Structure 1
Amino acid sequence: MATLQHVSTAREARRAAFGSYLGATLEFYDFTLYATASALVFPAVFFTGVSPALGAVLSYVTLAIGYVARPAGAILFGHFGDRIGRKRMLVITIVVMGVASIGIGLIPPAASIGAAAPILLVVLRLVQGVAVGGEWAGASLMSIEHAQEKRRGLAGAVVQSGGPSGAVLATLVFALISLMPPEQLLSWGWRIPFLASILVVILAVLIRLTVTESPEFERAKEHLDIARIPIISAFAENWRSILLVILTALSPFFLQSLTATFGLGFAVAHGNSQADTLWMLTISNFLTIFATLAFAALSDRVGRTKVMIVGFILGAVLVWIAFALLTLPSLAAVLVAFVLLTPIGNAMVTGPLAAYMADLFPVHNRFTGVGISYQVAATLAAGFAPLVATGLVGAAGGATFLLTGLVSVLGLVGVVAVILSRTVRMAGKA
């Protein structure tokens, strides 16, 4: 299918990118908050009466549950996003995401309401997961489909940079509240970051209401190129693209979640203070914002697959060095490890990733195709990364070679998937 004529003004493109960036920032702010709280707070607040180890596992299970709901959200919002437009869906998803996050911050502890506390936590994670399932694909497509062809990689990366931006914001806030006395932190301090989500929600809604609909979707609508049932259309016409995107995204999602959850706790368990380790993660995430944009801009010039292949190979090698450094009781070593894992090991893949995925689907089922592919990969890789990491390190008697070996294998899978994607690419540079 030929690439549609660009019809957005530069101002509309910037507004679309900024509105999408805010949504991605909130998504990853919420994810990082929840992931961090799962490791450091929730076992003591919602899973009392069990051993600390079991409490941590149960907490990670609730993290995974949110990911399980994401594919359903991708199908639901993808259907209407491909049928009636991207803009309306994005206003709905940002509001639902924010309401769920605020609700988590209001749940009473298990000491007050017993089993109802973890049940409420699971319900709100499910709601949040459904909303997030539609958020990322729609946000990315709004930015990409408003952009000029030669800047689609960078336009997609603006949304991708919302990931490290949200992570920076979340880890910064959590690092600050971690300075509180433990009793106050577990009592009410941890709630502050979740309740603060309302500020991002309000700003994002105001921006998104002023953004025009995707020009590519409008053109497809004029030509009656609208799928009757987008999920069937996506699997019938573009099943290869769905499979390749899933295989491509497994490695970056696993590594991203691994760093933010298990890697954080792993560094703390090896003699580094919780607050200082969070600061190191914050610095790394801050650097990732710029690395994501830089590698995406590079992909617009030399080709997305070339940049991503190098990124997969680097990530597969650097993870071994990074986890060796995380065993040292040294903040400098921890910072270097986090930098190897995210702004270097992951950003070369995640920077071009949004445009890479959009290029593999036609407009009439792109929201659904991108969304379901992305969220299935996120569920399989990011959702279960802490549990898988805990199990592999336990099976290895505390050593990390099984875990780092898995990351390397996923990187090689990504290389193969990206190479094969050249045969089904819909648009953009190979």
Structure 2
Amino acid sequence: MTDTTTTGGATAVQQRKQRNAQRGAFLGFFVDMFDIYLPILVLAPAITYFVSPDLSASATALVTGSIFAATLVGRPLGALLFGRYADTRGRKQATVVAVAGFGVLTVVIGLLPGYETWGITSVVLFIALRFLVGIFVGGEYTAASPLAMEYSPRSERGRNGALIMTGFPLAYVAVALITLVMLQIAPAGGPDSPYVQWGWRIPFFLGGALAFAFVVYFLREVDESEVFASGGGSTAPVRDLFSGQNRKNFLQVFVLMTGFWLTLNCITAILPGLLARELGLSSTQISLILVVAFLAVAVGYVVAGVTSQRTGRRPFLMIAGLVSAVPGTAVFALLLVLRPENVIVIGALVTLLAVLVVSVWGLATVYINERFQTGVRATGFGLGYSLAVVIPSFYAFYQSGLSSFMPAQYTVLPLLVIGSVLITIGAAMGPETRDVDFGAARPAVVGERA
């Protein structure tokens, strides 16, 4: 099978397949990121529905963290299971099963009774269901993104990969706005308030509806990858991934993505708390600032993808890591040291910080897919993307250790520098991948030994 990028001009049918696969990957990523952010943003004002009113603030925070952690733990397992499925049975079938799975579970979560009805069983069941959701979410991007990249012309892969990745910031924006609207319709307060009793359920039902609509679209409009269908699959993708050159490729991607996740956590997980504690912003102010910042990040993704198509992935990633380490960390430090009182100034600094640090994510989909041959591409992409989240997810423990010899509010800065340096090192460890032929049995890439 010839890589679609090597043909002189795609037919109308081929162009339609490319567009539908690209659109499907974006929508799939948007839907599963929408689901990821539901418990983080939507449930925060209603967490008292699932926990005892006598529970301390620290214990409640532990429950919230467990809900989020359960999803994170499930994602690598989903990447393993669905990556193997996609590399042996097909990208399309794996995508449909994964999205339908977390669509059903999201609706079930929206129907759960609370602590008053089931006691502690309600939150235990919630955490268990979120673990299962994580498995299916990990399966969605593991299958749909390689399918789209295998249809994408070589000259457009950077842009197309970035457009897929915009589903991440745009899903955050969508969930944040829906939460703000629901809080106006059904105000939050005590356990008997409208939002706590029923308002939080609406976004979950909407998330389930989006998943089902996506399944219908994907079944009707998206064709199986021609690169895979032509015989590029593997009978043992997991074994093949962790042997020979594939293993070296995976380790390099793991280092790179560990840096990606650590720097991202500095913005999405640590920054909001600092804005509340150190700068005294309200939840509404923080939400609105992050909405603007993530809209800017979505643009940054596309700029990064298009730019890397000109400069090459490797040099862009190396420079992006340095940009995050130096000017990115400087802006973060400036925000913490100056503590501006003007919300507009804070918003501008946060937006600049997010663009400098997070825009590099625009290359995640295209670069990881370019690092693996067709037989292990879904498995390599899914595990390379998901397993690397484990080490960065313990950021709170790293901050606790750093706080023994520096002010707690500044402990985010060393983590940001370390993550940024890992991005540069990870990129330097790998070859240039911009011109990889996806149709080759084993893609030849510049700078990699046979």
TM-score normalised according to structure 2 size: 0.86
1:261 equivalent in structure 2: 269
Identical-pair percentage: 23
Which of 338, 349, 353 matches 2:364?
A: 353
* Residue 202 (structure 1) shift: 2.9
Contact in 2 for aligned 1:32/1:170 (Cα 8 Å): yes
The aligned runs of 1:273-422 (5 Å cut-off) are 273-317=282-326, 318-322=328-332, 324-325=334-335, 327-347=339-359, 349-381=360-392, 383-385=393-395, 387-388=396-397, 391=400, 395=404, 399-422=408-431
Separation of aligned partners in 1, 2:253 and 2:268: 23
**In the aligned structure 2, how far is the partner of 1:277 from the partner of 1:109?**
28
Q: Deviations over 1:126-171 (max 9, x none)?
A: 1111011111122211211111011111121121111111111111
Q: Which residue of 1 aligns with 2:23?
A: 18
CA-CA distance at 1:80 after TM superposition:
1.3
1:27-426 residue pairs with structure 2 within 5 A? 27-37=32-42, 40-42=45-47, 45-46=50-51, 48-179=53-184, 180-182=187-189, 183-209=193-219, 210-219=221-230, 221=231, 225-237=232-244, 238-269=246-277, 270-317=279-326, 318-322=328-332, 324-325=334-335, 327-347=339-359, 349-381=360-392, 383-385=393-395, 387-388=396-397, 391=400, 395=404, 399-422=408-431, 426=443
8 Å CA contact 1:36–1:261 kept in 2: the answer is: no
Amino acid in the other structure paired with 2:343: L
CA distance 1:56–1:323, shift in 2 (3 Å): farther
CA contact (8 A) 2:39 2:67 kept: no
Q: How far apart, in 2, do the equivalents of 1:41 and 1:392 lie?
A: 32
Gaps of 5+ in 1: none
Q: Matches of 1:43 and 1:376 in 2, distance apart?
A: 32
Deviation of 1:356 after TM superposition, in Å, equals 0.9
Q: Secondary structure at the match of 1:213?
A: coil
Counterpart code for 1:405: P
Query: Which blocks of at least 5 consecutive residues in structure 2 are unaligned?
Result: 437-442
Task: Tell me, in whole angstroms, the C-alpha distance in 1 between the residues paired with 2:285 and 2:446.
Answer: 42
Contact preservation (8 Å) 1:33, 1:174: no
Greater radius of gyration (CA): 2
Matches of 1:19 and 1:177, distance apart in 2: 28
Letter aligned with residue 190 of structure 1: W
Supply the distance in 2 between the matched residues of 1:128 and 1:228 (Cα, whole angstroms).
27
Output the amino acid matched with 2:211.
Answer: V
Letter in 1 for 2:389: A
2:281 is paired with a residue whose SS is coil
How far apart, CA to CA, are the structure 2 residues paired with 1:102 and 1:427?
45
CA, structure 1 residues 395+33, in 2 after alignment: closer, same or farther (shift >3 Å)?
A: farther
- Per the alignment, in what secondary structure is the counterpart of residue 96 of structure 1? helix
Taking the aligned partners of 2:253 and 2:238, their CA distance within structure 1 comes to: 15
In terms of mean alpha carbon deviation, does 76-85 or 179-188 score higher?
179-188
Q: 3-state DSSP class of the match of 1:50?
A: coil
Q: Is the 8 A contact 2:333 2:410 kept in 1?
A: no
Give the Cα separation in 2 of the matches to 1:316 and 1:31: 27
